[in-house]
Chain A
Amino acid sequence: MYLSRLHITNYRGISNLQIDDLRPINIFVGRNGAGKTSVLEALSLATRPDLDKHFKLARFRGLQYPQYREADILETIFNFNYSKPPVRFDYEYKQYDDEASKEYTVELHPLNVADANTRQIRFSDDEYTNGFKDGAVDEDDNVIGLALNITSKDGVKIEQKMLPTKDGYEVSGDEGQIDQLGSFFVEARRSMSIDETMEMLKEKFRNIQWQQRFLIQVQSILPNVQGVHLLGNGIYIDIGAEQLLPLPMMGDGFNRIFLVIVGMMASSSATVMVDEIDSGLHHSVMDEFWSTVGRIVDQGKQIFCTTHNEEMLDSLLDAFGPESDLFKIYRIDRDENSETSCVEYSPRQFDNALGFGFDVR
């Protein structure tokens, strides 16, 4: 099963955007501020539409509690404007083999005090800066929680609420049964913790054959690596030096690429989202990187990523060719009225544009 299309309404800076005909590999390009990362987040939410994920995605943008109030994080979801219609995602999953599809709609509403049925406590400036109390709102009666409604064409209806508690937030409501692809998200600025990476690799490394396949893929993109070892609670890299080196010592670029490979190979999620996929990747291994991605999508994974990098796009075409149906490039544009649009390039159209001398980014 894969995500085949998505319509985004009122998410972050995107008021209305349709993205059709998603492929196994999907590359989003566009100018700074066009909304590429927002599209990636929206796609991620369409693979697992729960409230906790909205919260985590907001944190990707650098809004980490306690520096920012949790209300600030919620506000980013609604782009600081609660009067507009709810955040909405309409999306479709398809089967790879028979094209059977399922359509879902997810709506996300802000909850104020009356909605949440919690008592209102006025609080001082000091309390304001130190975060929320139980059920508290600020004097402007701003949003304190989220409500999530999921409906499908075949009659599934799920309602969830996320409300503040003493210790943070609590999600209540239906668990529901809907198809979820799940996503492994590699954000542009930070990488996953060693603990989380360890957990995934520990499980997979029990299978020696998987371990060998993983090493081959790592070596194809990071050719200096001679071995990857899990020792105690750490991941150690053998680069032929006298000692094994802890993964964090290998540098940001290495760590990020390593994480992307882990996400593509070890994650149980059916989709992998990588913001700025070229970050940390040397140009000499870009072709091999895409070949690796090609082998992984052959096993059923779907990849979504953003890039500004011209060489990364050229190598994509070199790896798969202009007649490939494996990938598409989507340019996200934002016009002078801040309206967002998406222009698709098939591999053939991308090849033509390059051949005529135009840039698709």
Chain B
Amino acid sequence: MSRDKRPLVIDKPVAILVEGIDWFHFLREQITDGPKMKPEFENVRLYDFKGVKQLGSFLETLRKHRDFEHIQALGIMRDIEAETGKNSRRNVIATVRSVLNGYDFSAPKKPQEIDTSQSIAISYLLIPHDADMGCLEHAILNAVRDQDVLNCAQDFYDCIDPDKIRNDNARAKMIVRSIIATTHKDGYTLGQSVHANLWDLEHESVRVMLDFIRSLVSFLD
């Protein structure tokens, strides 16, 4: 891996770890106002741990950082897509807890519970928060404002992939991209789409992410 920008810092008491750059920007655009953090999130810093397999390495890196002691609350957000099959949600919970324990962090038994047995509060959120399978894009599709556009995009993918060769997560990602492509802005990213009025950000399936961050902020001294 090589470095291509200024190094990350630990300068806020609430560290939120998210899976992947799309997720990072989708949340970042919601908790910032231009270059500044919105006041209720000014004690929060988002970090991209890149992928589920890198979560352990990221936690290890965080713990070794000179300023790790500044962190008072740690939240992890990831989707369920990597753990397929029956009981996927249960498997993901076991995986997250195992990774946390492996790097000497305490691990709550359930998502969104906050463990305060150590010097930092720890929690995790799985997305979709109310399903057994899926990914961030499933949560976003639940919050599409224009149902006609959603139906049209779904019909289109039914048409080009009638045998459902692509898995459900890949399909959800493509439909989200298609909906973003309906805006008049070319090349919008998922993060930029936050400002395109495509999604109902107050819909519970999306709002749960900011509520998760708020719950950790409320644990500050």
- With known contacts A314-B2, A333-B66, A358-B65, A352–B7 Cβ distance under 8 A: no
The answer, yes or no, to whether A285 is at the interface (CB within 8 Å) is no
The answer to whether B5 touches A357 (Cβ under 8 A) is yes
- With known contacts A314-B2, A314-B3, A351-B1, A356–B66 Cβ distance under 8 A: no
Contact of B61 among A314, A331, A333, A352 (CB under 8 A): A352
**Distance, CA A359 to CA B50, complexed state (A):** 17
Cβ of B3: which chain A residues have Cβ within 8 Å of it? 310, 314, 354, 357
Give A355's nearest chain B residue, CB to CB.
B1
| Closest beta carbon of chain B to A9's beta carbon, Å | 23
Q: Of residues 237 to 269 in A, which have CB atoms within 8 Å of B's CB atoms?
A: none
Number of residues from B at the complex interface, CB < 8 A: 18
Cβ of B58: which chain A residues have Cβ within 8 Å of it? 352, 356
Max chain B CB contacts within 10 Å: which of A310, A314, A354? A354
**Distance, CA A125 to CA B65, complexed state (A):** 51
The answer to whether B57 touches A352 (Cβ under 8 A) is yes
The answer to whether A349 touches B64 (Cβ under 8 A) is yes
Cβ of A357: which chain B residues have Cβ within 8 Å of it? 3, 5, 7-8
Cβ of B49: which chain A residues have Cβ within 8 Å of it? 356
**Distance, CA A251 to CA B49, complexed state (A):** 46
The answer, yes or no, to whether A171 is at the interface (CB within 8 Å) is no
- With known contacts A349-B60, A359-B7, A354–B1 Cβ distance under 8 A: yes
**Distance, CA A353 to CA B54, complexed state (A):** 11
Q: Of residues 1 to 16 in B, which have CB atoms within 8 Å of A's CB atoms?
A: 1-3, 5, 7-8
| Closest beta carbon of chain B to A353's beta carbon, Å | 5
**Distance, CA A358 to CA B8, complexed state (A):** 5
Q: Of residues 58 to 115 in A, which have CB atoms within 8 Å of B's CB atoms?
A: none
Chain A proximity mask over B53-74: 1 for CB below 8 Å, otherwise 0: 0100110110011100000000
A-B contact pairs, 28 of them (CB 8 A): A314-B2, A314-B3, A331-B66, A343-B64, A349-B57, A349-B64, A351-B1, A352-B1, A352-B58, A352-B60, A352-B61, A353-B61, A355-B1, A356-B8, A356-B47, A356-B50, A356-B54, A356-B61, A357-B3, A357-B7, A357-B8, A358-B7, A358-B8, A358-B61, A358-B65, A359-B7, A359-B8, A360-B64
A residues apposed to B, CB below 8 Å: 310, 314, 331, 333, 343, 345, 349, 351-360
Beyond contacts A351-B1, A360-B64: 8 other A-B pairs, Cβ-Cβ < 8 A, are A352-B60, A354-B2, A354-B3, A356-B48, A356-B54, A356-B61, A357-B3, A358-B65
B residues apposed to A, CB below 8 Å: 1-3, 5, 7-8, 47-50, 54, 57-58, 60-61, 64-66
